[in-house]
Amino acid sequence: MTEEKPFSQACENNKQVILEKLAVIFDTPGTVLEIGTGTGQHAVHFARNLPHLTWQPSDHPDNYQLCTPWLKEAGVSNINEPLALDVSSSNWKLPPINGAFSANTAHIMSWPNVEAMFQGMSNQLQSGEAFCLYGPFNYNNQFTSASNQQFDVFLRQRDPVMGIRDIGDIRHLGLACGLELKEDFEMPANNRLLVWIRH
């Protein structure tokens, strides 16, 4: 009897457009950490199509094994075992990485945890290495679409610490952590892919 795989329609919808950007950003061999792997659909798709990379899944300690059914079924050799990662921990205890990716995490984390994620990235990455952050963001404290505004209301009703982050706040946070926003790609469904480079 096979283990039932969790499924995210959003991952299916956005995995190819994200892959096209990651293929350019992570164009040399190395290990890429994924923060918030979730179901594992992104991990499988990216590792399968970027064979020069080793993909390192991770997620919150309560959730990090959610991706196991997808990883087992895929049998892709360049995906490591998922790691439990609490971004608020002062010591992430990770193997060396050469880049990082995270999708749809900044708006479901509390702001202190977003700060901790950026500080952790600063600690883990070397100069010139990239952290790619995908999701919805506000500009000048304005929503970019009515659907994003409705999504923000939904998030805050679910938990007041959640919410769509403003690009200005997150840019200042990055700079404070030695991460400069180098690219801001428009993506489908009112999302962005932000590319931060370690100084």
- Helix and strand tally (H, E) in the chain? 6, 9
Q: Provide the pairing of β-strand 99-103 with 130-135.
A: parallel
Q: Tokens 């984390």 sit at which residue?
A: 109
Paired residues of 166 in beta bridges: 138
Q: Provide the pairing of β-strand 179-187 with 191-198.
A: antiparallel
Please give the domain boundaries of the chain with CATH numbers for all domains: 9-198 (3.40.50.150)
CA 177 and chain centroid, separation: 17
Convert the pLDDT of each residue in 82-109 to its tens digit.
Answer: 999 999 998 999 999 999 999 999 999 9
Convert the pLDDT of each residue in 38-69 to its tens digit.
Answer: 999 999 999 999 999 999 999 999 999 999 99
**CA 38/CA 70 separation, integer angstroms:** 10
Structure tokens at 161: 């610490």
3-class DSSP state of 88: coil
Categorize the per-residue pLDDT at 14 as very low, low, confident or very high, splitting at 50, 70 and 90. very high
Position 12 pLDDT exceeds 70: yes
pLDDT at 4: 84
pTM of the model: 0.97
Position 3 pLDDT exceeds 90: no
Convert the pLDDT of each residue in 141-198 to its tens digit.
Answer: 999 999 999 999 999 999 999 999 999 999 999 999 999 999 999 999 999 999 999 9
Contact 184, 192 (CB under 8 A): yes
Position 1 pLDDT exceeds 50: no
Q: In whole angstroms, how far apart are CA 2 and each of 8, 48, 74? A: 19, 21, 13
Position 71 pLDDT exceeds 70: yes
Position 2 pLDDT exceeds 60: no
